[in-house]
Chain A
Amino acid sequence: MRQLYRPLLSLITVSSLLLSAPIVQANPTPPIDVVASFSILANITEEIGGPLVNVTTLVGPDADSHVFNPSPADAKSLARAQVVVINGLGFEGWIDRLVKSSGFKGKLVVASNGVKPLDFKEETKSHAPEQKDSHDHSHKHSHKPKTDHGKHDHAKHDQGEVDPHAWQDLKNGKIYAENIRAALVAVLPTARDEINARAKYYIDQIEALDQDSRMRLNAVPAEQRRVVSSHDAFGYFAQAYDVEFFAAQGWSTDREVSAAHMATLIREIRKDKVHALFVENMSDPRLMQRIAEETGVRIGGKLYSDALSAPGTAADTYLKMFSSNVNTILQALEP
């Protein structure tokens, strides 16, 4: 609950900053146009840029970046933009063509620059990679049914090498914020102090939420920290906070599930005694309901992976989204 008040606190601090700013600088520059590829980046940029930026989002709240179709209006806002923020790591397959065709000449920020990318190969197993206290599980999982081999090859083939969902680890979120801060300072050198102050405040918030989340999740016994999600987007989360994620569906939401994948998953849930199932904000909930019925686990609520929720709802900022995910997982894991 505490986290929910932090944005409010930040708003108060920020507005006091703003009130003092015009007196010193007399607000010399109009806001610059920034285009962010999807809602999470847009939110981080807004937190850091505040009134200095005018952010347009290409893939809005609750929409899916994997199957995005750019419209001429998107190309137009891209052409006007002074800064474009993208995630990188192959997340926005369509961005290169769009940037080229729009004739954009500003500064392109790859927010994930400097993040240590997770390999999809180890992540398709959907388990946290080797960590101290999950050792016994990983050992058990190496004896998986042979049907898995085909699936793994597929996954590697279809998905390329790295997992783009780096923002699901708040440590990476700090890197994102830092990259965006540096870009904004480079474009708006006159507003350097204000941007730096906002960024510092925001990064402190990320840091606090990171520590808080880690503490609360690690209070749950390790063998209970096993969940299934309908989207294989939580590799970074799994690694950072030591929660095991089993995937119900391949990484890309536009791929159809096979009966073999469903069967393997149901067997694993039965075998590993997974506690909770999560339906995320854009996947087909019908598949999850089938699995829940078949295995008797309970559906734990919504986890947000690739998009924020609509403005004014529970997960409309990056930090609120993250703390909503942590709360949802904790609620579902509690006996």
Chain B
Amino acid sequence: MGKATIMEPMTMVDFFWSPFAEFAFMQRALVASLALGLISGPVGVLLVMRRMSLAGDAISHAVLPGAAIGYMIAGMSLPVLGLGAFITALLVALLASGVSNITSQREDASLAAFYLMALAIGVTLVSVHGSNIDLMHLLFGSILAVDQTALVLIASATSVTLILLAMIWRVLLTSSFDPLFLAQYGRSGRLANQLFMLTVVLTFVACFQTLGTLMAVGLLMLPAVAAKFWSRDIPTACLLASAFAMISGATGLLLSYHASLPSGPSIVLTAGAIYLVSLFVGSHDSLLIHTIRSTRHRES
């Protein structure tokens, strides 16, 4: 991949190991992307199963006003930005699920309504505050700039997400197969749903500090959709998605290092490549399988 820029012959060690051995920023970026990959898998797959693929997109915009307020209060302080982002995103998620519980409107519709308002408030806050560049930095975090504080933030968010997921795993699995399940299950089903939204929000707060809000959606959704081409079993798909996301993180960083590409997009593009490969040759429902099946139909 680095052929255009690196002329000397490279050994495997040079290619895969040296960048991480030589530079601490590469090590931190790797650790951060592996941790994020780990939680992106299950959260992404569950979102896809529940037909809320775009919820991630919505929530990624809902973090903006909180992050903007956090910036006004404390400047470029990661914990404060993270907390602000967490609060507004959670507020949007809970309002949306609350409205869809009471009214007959679907959750994604009310989520769209609330996130658009949040986004508008966020953009207004940033513009009134004056400096345009802050918004750009909130939207495009840089994984190369991950420091100790950011790593701790990511680690905590990852751990809490995993614990929460373990707690509500059963209910989530069942309800993902049967959308009416939640309604029948009543109160505890709704609670599980709200806890799930909490994990989605947590995943985002962890992601947006490193990849930026736009790229974070890519790492969350692309591996999940790709995994669906390889397995129908949800736990297997979750594991696969985590693996894909982690591979994307590591490969994307190497791509950014060797081919001189921006790091966030490299990671998301790697995830995109995995998706395309899965779409063509995956073992379930892929284009290859469909071709084989239609050929067989013709033969018989």
Interface residues of A (CB under 8 A from B): 60, 62-64, 67-69, 146-147, 149-151, 154, 253-263, 266, 282-287, 289-291, 293-294
Contact = CB atoms under 8 A, between A and B. Distances in A.
Given A284-B76, A284-B137, A286-B145, A260 B5 contact: yes
Interface of B: 4-8, 19, 22-26, 29, 76, 130-133, 136-137, 140, 142, 144-147, 253, 256-266
B8 A150 contact: no
A328 B144 CA distance: 27
Nearest to B29: A259
Given A60-B130, A63-B130, A256-B265, A149 B23 contact: no
Contact of B131 (A257, A261, A282, A285): A282
Contacts of A62: 130-131
A263 B257 contact: yes
Nearest to A154: B260
B25 to A, nearest CB: 5
B5 A263 contact: no
Contacts of A256: 140, 142, 262-265
A229 to B, nearest CB: 16
Given A69-B132, A282-B133, A286-B145, A260 B257 contact: yes
Contacts of A67: 132-133, 136
Contacts of A149: 5
Contacts of A147: 5-6, 260
A91 B263 CA distance: 27
B253 to A, nearest CB: 6
A258 B256 contact: yes
Nearest to B252: A259
Nearest to A146: B7
Given A146-B6, A284-B142, A258 B263 contact: yes
19 contacts: A62-B131, A147-B5, A147-B6, A149-B5, A150-B5, A150-B260, A253-B136, A254-B133, A257-B263, A258-B257, A258-B260, A259-B253, A259-B257, A262-B144, A282-B133, A284-B137, A287-B144, A289-B145, A293-B147
Contact of B133 (A60, A64, A294): A64
Contact of A260 (B7, B24, B260): B260
Nearest to B134: A282
Contacts of A253: 133, 136
B258 A257 contact: no
Nearest to B132: A67
Nearest to B254: A259
A227 B8 CA distance: 30
Contacts of A64: 131-133
B150 to A, nearest CB: 8
Contacts of A68: 132
A253 B131 CA distance: 13
A149 B19 CA distance: 19
Nearest to B137: A284
Contacts of A154: 260
A285 B71 CA distance: 14
A147 B19 CA distance: 13
Contacts of B7: 146
A154 B261 CA distance: 10
A141 B4 CA distance: 21
A245 to B, nearest CB: 20
Nearest to A63: B131
Most buried by A among B22, B133, B258: B133
A151 B130 CA distance: 32
Contacts of B263: 256-259
A290 B141 CA distance: 14
Contacts of B142: 256-257, 284, 286-287
A68 B261 CA distance: 25
A259 B6 contact: no
B260 A287 contact: no
Nearest to B18: A263
Contacts of B136: 67, 253-254
A292 to B, nearest CB: 11
Contact of B19 (A254, A263, A293): A263
Contacts of B256: 258-260
A256 B252 CA distance: 14
